[in-house]
Amino acid sequence: MKAIFPGSFNPIHNGHIRIIKQAAKDFEHLYVLVANNEAKKYNRSIYFRKKLAEKAVYSLKLKNVTVLSQIPGTLTPDIAKNLNAEVIVRGSLQRNISDYEKKLADSYQKLNEDLSFRYYIFINSNKVNDEFISSTRINSLLLKDESIKGLVPNNILRDLKYGKINQSKNRKGKLVIYCGPSGVGKGTVASKFINESEFKFKFSVSATTRKKRENEKDGVNYHFLSKETFEKWIEEDKFIEYAKFADNYYGTPIEPLNNWINEGFNVFIEIEIAGVIQIVKKVPEAITLFLAPPSIDELEKRLRNRDTETEVEIKKRMQTAINELELSENKFLFKYRFINDNVDRVSEEIKRVLRLEL
């Protein structure tokens, strides 16, 4: 049975740590949600808290717990439904359960009668410091070189104090998915950030059953496979995504991606939206980026200015783009959506997100 712990999981709260440890024992898999935005009032501490959450989960050796960013505007019941979670874990720390948690559970249930989840209420009986402890406060104390002993669980205290949260040898990399309609300028924008050393990107090589062209190299341009081999790989679940175009298969092998991620590298994949849908089902924590045009008219103008497609091809691409733009509004599919109205501006915006997430 899957469960989620919603809201801003904060590993500097020992009470939250206790909830996570207990819920990890009680459920097959637990998704821990961390609020994710760059509001000025947080002083970018959300980034700091997410790193702490990942470190805390690793330190506690909780292999059945996944830390996810909670996209601004998404509701807990919707996330539970998307992840097929049957239980929402909530904790009662310094509140009376009958006055708060039960009311909240009841109101959620009334508003979402189509959902079949139930609530798991963890009551923390241990006394805690009445002083409000936040990520912003911890970050402030660190910057002032003041003591945080007693405020942070011992198993992450040392790494916090010496700024090693982001350099953990055991830190795994992440999967970054980049998508957008034809003609939107994906390549031009990506060229501004994909080779930045701070992001530690590795790039996947797709597999295909089409014939190798004269100037192509196996393993560099594509992994060229026979149809029989490709279909065998499909049966063995060796692709993170695949599709068939014009009687030829194309797919992204999953093994090298897993190897790089386990080695601490981040993997960057530029892919069609059909592939994104497949990947998000398998890897819900993937960082998905969609690049959109300022308007549909501007996209058509850019396609025509390329002068590489026939009128029939342009109309086909425009219809595809309309469908893609509609899907890009799905917050479960794309965590971030960018408007390419200026290459330098949008590339800097993407860099800020990558620094927040990676």
pLDDT tens digits for range 222-240: 999 999 999 999 999 999 9
Residues 299, 155 share a domain: no
What would the mean pLDDT of 343-347 be, rounded to a whole number?
93
pLDDT value at residue 34: 78
| φ, ψ dihedrals at 247, nearest 5° | 70, 10
- Residues 11/59, Cβ–Cβ less than 8 Å: no
Q: What is the pTM of this model?
A: 0.57
CA 177/CA 179 separation, integer angstroms? 7
What would the mean pLDDT of 160-181 be, rounded to a whole number?
67
Question: Residue 185's pLDDT band (boundaries 50, 70, 90)?
Answer: very high
Residues 348, 201 share a domain: yes
Is the confidence at residue 171, as pLDDT, over 60?
Answer: yes
Residues 305, 221 share a domain: yes
What would the mean pLDDT of 83-104 be, rounded to a whole number?
58
Q: Which of 123, 141, 166 is the last residue of a domain?
A: 166
Residues 27, 61 share a domain: yes
What would the mean pLDDT of 101-128 be, rounded to a whole number?
48
Residues 250, 129 share a domain: no
pLDDT higher at 339 or 85: 339
Q: Which residues pair with 89 in a beta bridge?
A: 120
Q: What's the total number of domains in the chain?
A: 2
pLDDT higher at 42 or 286: 286
Residues 284, 242 share a domain: yes
CA 45/CA 138 separation, integer angstroms? 9
CA 266/CA 173 separation, integer angstroms? 5
Pairing mode, if any, of strands 29-35 and 2-5? Answer: parallel
Pairing mode, if any, of strands 336-339 and 287-292? Answer: parallel
Residues 90, 211 share a domain: no
CATH code, domain with 108: 3.40.50.620
Residues 146, 16 share a domain: yes
What would the mean pLDDT of 336-349 be, rounded to a whole number?
92
CA 289/CA 340 separation, integer angstroms? 12
CA 6/CA 101 separation, integer angstroms? 13
Q: Which of 149, 166, 183 is the last residue of a domain?
A: 166
Residues 179, 49 share a domain: no
Most confident of 78-87, 129-138, 197-206: 197-206
CA 242/CA 222 separation, integer angstroms? 14
What would the mean pLDDT of 120-133 be, rounded to a whole number?
41
- Residue numbers of the domain that contains 307: 175-357
Q: Which of 148, 166, 184 is the last residue of a domain?
A: 166
pLDDT tens digits for range 17-41: 777 887 888 888 988 887 654 444 3
pLDDT value at residue 59: 75
CATH code, domain with 272: 3.40.50.300
What would the mean pLDDT of 57-78 be, rounded to a whole number?
75
Residues 227, 143 share a domain: no
What would the mean pLDDT of 95-101 be, rounded to a whole number?
45
| Side-chain-facing half-sphere of 106: CA atoms under 13 Å | 7
Mark 193-208 as b/e (b = at least 16 C-beta within 10 Å): bbeeeebbbbebebbb
Residues 207, 107 share a domain: no
Residues 231, 151 share a domain: no
The residue written with tokens 């081999």 in the block is 229
pLDDT value at residue 179: 95
